[in-house]
A = this chain, B = another copy of it.
């Protein structure tokens, strides 16, 4: 295993273990004080090794975004899982196969067609598949409106009568990613909590069970002031953080644990460009900061030790080329970087950048490579 960053092939993914640990500890401490356990979302890291740090013996439960994640993490010993994307009927056999191996995996749904499919499958198989009803707390994506009592109760009754297990409700404040300040973050957090608790109350008021009230997103998890009525908080990207999270004030730039190591391959001096061997294949096409106050292009450029250069970003990217330049509207100076120099690029979106790579080069406090952790992809 290479010991130094200079021994690595570029481009590649660097994971700062100390920052990751700090991020995990910070959120755990915060949620401990609020008295609610964390159910980490493992879709960001897709790594058994990272999952070991995110979970522990007491809180050995997780959230996933694909059934493949559920299968890999179940194999690694995680036996309490929520598959947090609305269930497609033809995926139920893979859910059932996991349950037959002793994995307590729950599905989510937000419509009668899914509820019929799940209850028919439950009846035919004799497996009381646990179901969380997905609640829409902010109109960003899927889910039933938190105050749509008619639909909630109809689906709840069908699940219960149909032989599946109605375990609770789940919501995700996807719009919190658009926050611009602390007040908005706190507002989205309270909206998320209130929506889930309201829906739970509707179900319970109709005599239906609702043991789980699951909420969460990295922004709201860090800004909720009150989690009354919530039984668990989900969050994923916080483990690495990224420029989008820094842009909305959930973390600082020096909390970002993930970066892409790249090599300078040339210059266009009259244009003020430095060319590197990390293009969108290494960074992903994510441009999540484009809508924020400060557009970071395809990423913020740091020296090889991870210290950001002032206002130096990847302004454009082709498949295997990145163009580094001073951020428009900045008067910063372009650093002198010879051909062959290494830089590290902080990503807009850790989930997307991570997915472009098949392993993490894990570095310790001394910037030495301590481990190589595989990550997986696919469905």
Q: Which A residues lie at the B interface, using CB under 8 A?
A: 9-12, 43, 65-66, 85-91, 109-111, 113-114, 117, 136, 139, 141-142, 174, 263-268, 271, 275, 277, 280-282, 284-287, 318-321, 323, 338-340, 349, 351-352, 355-358, 377-379
Give which listed residue, B65, B88, B355, contacts A356 with CB less than 8 A: B355
Q: How far is the CA of A281 from the CA of B68 in the complex (A)?
A: 13
Residues A340 and B86 in contact in the complex (CB < 8 Å), given A43-B319, A65-B320: no
Q: Which of B65, B266, B280 is the one whose CB lies under 8 Å from A110?
A: B266
Q: Distance in Å from the Cβ of A287 to the closest Cβ of chain B?
A: 7
Give the complex CA separation of A11 and B67 in angstroms.
11
Residue in chain B with minimal CB distance to A288: B285
A340 touching B266 by the CB < 8 A rule?
Answer: no
Residue of B nearest to A67 (CB): B9
State whether A351 touches B319 (Cβ < 8 A). Answer: yes
Asked whether A86 and B379 contact (CB < 8 A) given A287-B287, A340-B113, the answer is no
Measured in the bound complex, the distance between the Cα atoms of B166 and A7 in whole Å is 29
Copies in the complex: 2
Q: How long is the Cα–Cα vector from A90 to B320 in the complex, in angstroms? A: 16
Pick the contact of A287 from B264, B285, B351, B357 — CB < 8 Å?
Answer: B285
Nearest Cβ on chain B to A174's Cβ, whole angstroms: 7
Query: Would A268 and B142 count as touching, CB distance under 8 A?
Result: yes
Chain B residues, Cβ within 8 Å of A88: 10, 263-265, 277, 339-340
Chain B residue nearest to A276 (CB atoms) is B88
Nearest CB on B from A359, distance (A): 9
**Secondary structure of the A contact surface, majority rule:** loop
| A113, A139, A323 — most chain B CB neighbours (10 Å) | A113
Contact A117 B339 (CB under 8 A): yes
Interface residue from B66, B89, B284, B351 paired with A339 (Cβ < 8 Å): B89
Residue numbers in B under 8 Å from A340 (CB-CB): 88-90, 113, 117
A282 to B379, CA, bound (A): 9
Q: In the complex the two chains form, what is the Cα distance from A318 to B109 in whole Å? A: 17
Query: Which residues of B sit under 8 angstroms from A265, Cβ to Cβ?
Result: 85-88, 114, 142
Residue from A88, A91, A263, A267 whose CB has the most chain B CB atoms within 10 Å = A88
Ranked nearest first, the 6 interchain pairs of A and B with the lowest CB-CB distance are A285-B285, A113-B339, A86-B265, A88-B263, A285-B286, A65-B320
Q: Given A263-B88, A318-B174 in contact, is the A10-B277 Cβ separation under 8 Å? A: no
Selected contact of A378 from candidates B284, B323, B358, CB within 8 Å: B358
CB of A33, distance to nearest CB on chain B (Å): 29
Contact for A321 among B111, B142, B284, CB less than 8 A: B142
Query: Are A266 and B114 within 8 A (Cβ)?
Result: yes
With A88-B277, A117-B340, A352-B280: A267-B323 Cβ-Cβ less than 8 Å: no
Q: Enumerate chain B residues within 8 angstroms of A268, measured Cβ to Cβ.
A: 136, 142
